[in-house]
Amino acid sequence: MDKPRKSLARKIGITILLLAAPLFMVSLGVFFKHVQAIMHKETMERSYSTLNTTMQRVVNYMSAVKNAAKSNVWLMEANFNPDSLQSLSRRIVTINQSVISCSVGTEPDVFPEYGSRFSVYSVNDGDTILTARESDYDYYERHWYQEPKRTGKDSWLDPFSDFNQGTISLNDAIASYCIPLRPGGGRIQGVVSTDFSFGRLSKIIEASEHPFPSAYYMLLGTDGRYLVYPESSFLFRRTIFSVTDSIQDPDVIKLGREMTAGKQGIMHVKRGDEVYHVCYAPVPETQWSLAMVCLDDEVLSDYNHLVYLAIIVVVVGLMLILLITVSVVRMNIKPIKQLLDDMQMIASGNYDVVIPLSPRKDAVALLQNAFIAMKRTIVAHMKEVKQTSEQVRVENEELEQAMAAAKKSFEEKRRFSQHVLRQIRLPLNILEGMTDTLLSHHLTPSELQVVKDTMAINVIRLDRRVTMLYDSSRPKSEDKVQYLRNSKLPCNELAREVIEYMHTCHANLEFHLETLLSDDVCIQTNHFFLNRAIGELLHNAAKFSDDKHITLRLMETESTVCFIVEDTGPGLQKDWHEILTQPFTQANEESMGFGLGLPLAQRQVTGLGGNLIYDADYQQGCRIIIEMPK
């Protein structure tokens, strides 16, 4: 029953693919290739035309400023005196509305009656034109004076603010066309600078044609600085390179290099998830570059719409062919297909499928009705087996989990009890032996002192172990109250105190203190818990070291003070992070101790706002660092 259906479906599918698919693919490929070439050409022509129109507006505006200066330079050179320079400066601003101001500066001591410097300026203040001589204005180091003097040529300068250097805004930014003055055709005696407002130029550019909804213009300066851009916070402060990630947006960096190099062209630039169509060209006689930017989807919107329409036509046509074919096939193999589908569902375990009884008398109907009877019998038996198996599985899983939990709990309790008794029994036995010695022997004062010291050390050890058990049983919710940083402690004094205490506990060991801190270095912390944390690290070092090379070293960084404990023992094993974080975990189960020293030290240091770090790169033994904030 499966073979006729698959054979027919295969023949129909191959026929559709052989006849329809290649024809559609070739036709659409040729059509869209041709359309894409035409639309790409039209898009380039339209982009260049729009950009050239805007560029002409910019050039016309700048030419008006340039011509206003050049048409009066010969008069300034022919009448090079203070009164003429002042009147001609005013004349330039008066006769040309595009000029916002005009400044004239001379070389030192050209007019000695006015001092070493002489400069005049005229500015268009809206309703009036102000002209004045600047007696205290230091213009020699200004860019508008230095650049034409250095090159000896007329030139446009990048935007600047003569009143607020370094924090230029669109409202006060000006660009200047500067011309050196050579009275009598000799050496340079001064410079004339005609200025226009970049705010006005920005309005001229923004008023230009925007062929697409998202289109905008940007004007870049010599170093890629934004001179005109929709994002006002970027203007004159940011460059196309400084606001772009070269790894994430390499196309933007490439565009910036092309524009600052004075090149002309069209580029598709990917930025983030968007692709932009950028047409750019240099501004004549400057090192600026003007670009029109718009979304690539908007540029090719007509082409995309055509693609969508063609896809819809192709999909609809193929669907109609498939629907007609499927309808014919279904009419002929519907009974066999239905029975085959039902059998496959039952074979996959879905015994709830409903197969209707067939009223017909043909072979397919008889086969269908016989299969229904067989299915009912199988379903009844499967339900019984499934229920029994599931019940047994659940009971077995619950029993296994309960047994494993009980066994684990019993083993942990047994091991912990034995370990605690062993750790406490040793100092108690020593104390008991010392007590017997005191009671049964008449000791000399020196021997009595030895017994007393031994008993004191074991009392300290016993007290330490009991305290560790108490601290480990205390809930962490109490840490905030316990670890109050209520003391301002000198670091060196705290270190000496810990070392002195360690000599009391381990009189036969050598503890070394090395400090790079001055005695006045202090931290705000909790004396009790920081003292205990450092002491636990030294106790561990004393337990595992060679008894000679145990060092407490102090150093500081800009924001922290470091207490470093080093020894020449075996160090910690590879899973050292478990020893630092899991209580009752030891590097060696046969060693003395509860496995609480390092976990409690980390808990105390963390509670005080610091960090406890194991230096896994230290190969000569073990090095653990406590970092405390200053």
Tens of pLDDT, residues 496-509: 999 888 887 777 78
Whole-angstrom Cα distance, residue 477 to residue 482?
10
Distance between CA atoms of 113 and 109, rounded to whole angstroms? 8
Q: Which of 218, 195, 169 is nearest to 61 (CA)?
A: 195
Reported as half-sphere exposure (CB side, CA atoms, 13 A), residue 535 has a value of 23
CA–CA distance, 604 with 598 (Å, rounded to integer): 10
Quote the CA–CA distance of 255 and 277 in Å, as a whole number: 11
Q: Taking all residues of the chain, what is their mean pLDDT, rounded to a whole number? A: 78
| Residue 209 main-chain phi, psi, to 5 deg | -65, 135
pLDDT at 141: 84
pLDDT at 567 over 50: yes
Rounded to the nearest 5°, which phi and psi values hold at 111?
-120, 85
> Is 558 a residue whose pLDDT tops 80?
yes
What pLDDT is stored for residue 178 in this prediction?
A: 94
pLDDT in tens, 572-591: 765 555 555 665 555 555 45
Q: According to the model, what pLDDT value does residue 172 have?
A: 65
Q: What was the pLDDT predicted at 352?
A: 64
Given a cut of 90, whether residue 626 has pLDDT beyond it is yes
What is the CATH topology of the domain spanning 210-299? Beta-Lactamase (3.30.450)
Local structure of residue 320 (DSSP, 8 states): H
Torsion sign (Cα): 545, 546, 552, 553: negative
pTM above 0.85, yes or no: no
Residues 532-545, mean pLDDT to the nearest whole number? 84
**What are the Cα distances from residue 281, in Å, to 56, 76, 263, 553?**
12, 35, 6, 65
Start-to-end CA span in the chain (Å): 83
Beta bridge partners of 523: 489
Report the candidate in 211, 176, 212 with the shortest Cα–Cα distance to residue 195. 176
- Residue length, the chain? 630
What pLDDT band is residue 163 in, cutting at 50, 70 and 90? Answer: very low
pLDDT score, position 290: 92
Cα–Cα dist 410/397, whole Å: 20
> Which strand (E) or helix (H) includes residue 67?
helix 21-78
pLDDT of residue 409: 61
Residue bearing tokens 């010969």: 74
Decide if pLDDT at 31 tops 80: no
Q: Which residue has the tokens 């044609």?
A: 209
User: Has residue 165 got a pLDDT over 60?
Assistant: no
Alpha carbons 471 and 596: distance in angstroms, whole number: 9
How far apart are alpha carbons 293 and 51 in whole angstroms? 10
Q: For residue 185, what is the DSSP state?
A: G
Q: What are phi and psi of 487, to 5 degrees?
A: -135, 140
Phi-psi sector, 236: left (phi>0), alpha (psi -120 to 50), beta: left
- Helix H or strand E encompassing 250: helix 250-260
Tell me the per-residue pLDDT of 105-126, one tens digit each, with 9 for 90 and over: 999 888 988 888 899 989 988 7
Q: pLDDT value at position 378?
A: 73
Number of H helices, E strands in the chain: 15, 18
In this model, does residue 176 exceed pLDDT 70?
yes
CA-wise closest residue to 550 among 540, 562, 558: 540
- The tokens describing 228, both together, are 């005109």
Cα 505 from Cα 74, distance rounded (Å): 99
Helix axes 527-544, 491-505, angle to 10 degrees: 50
Residue that wins the pLDDT comparison between 419 and 376: 376
Name the residue with higher pLDDT: 158 or 611.
Answer: 611
10 Å Cβ neighbour count for 410?
A: 10
Architecture of domain 475-629: 2-Layer Sandwich (3.30)
Q: Please classify residue 426 by burial: count the beta carbons closer than 10 Å to its beta carbon, then call 0-12 exposed, 13-18 middle and 19+ buried.
A: middle
Which range of 147-151, 339-343, 408-412, 428-432 scores highest in mean pLDDT? It is 147-151
State pLDDT tens for residues 221-271.
888 888 888 888 888 888 988 888 888 889 999 999 999 999 999 888 988
Helix, strand, or coil (residue 275): strand
- One-letter amino acid identity for 163? F
Task: Give the H/E segment covering residue 290.
Answer: strand 289-295
Q: Which residues contact 395 (CB under 8 A, 6 or more apart)?
A: none
User: Residue 91's pLDDT is what?
Assistant: 92
So what's the pLDDT on residue 439?
A: 58
Stretch 17-27: mean pLDDT: 68
What pLDDT, on the 0 to 100 scale, is given for residue 562?
95
- DSSP per-residue letters across 453-493: HHHHHHHHHHHHHHHHHHHHHS-GGGHHHHT---EEEEHHH
Query: Is CATH 3.30.450.20 the classification given to domain 64-201?
Result: yes
User: Where does the pLDDT of residue 553 fall: very low under 50, low under 70, confident under 90, or very high at 90 and above?
Assistant: very high
* Predicted pLDDT at 315: 74
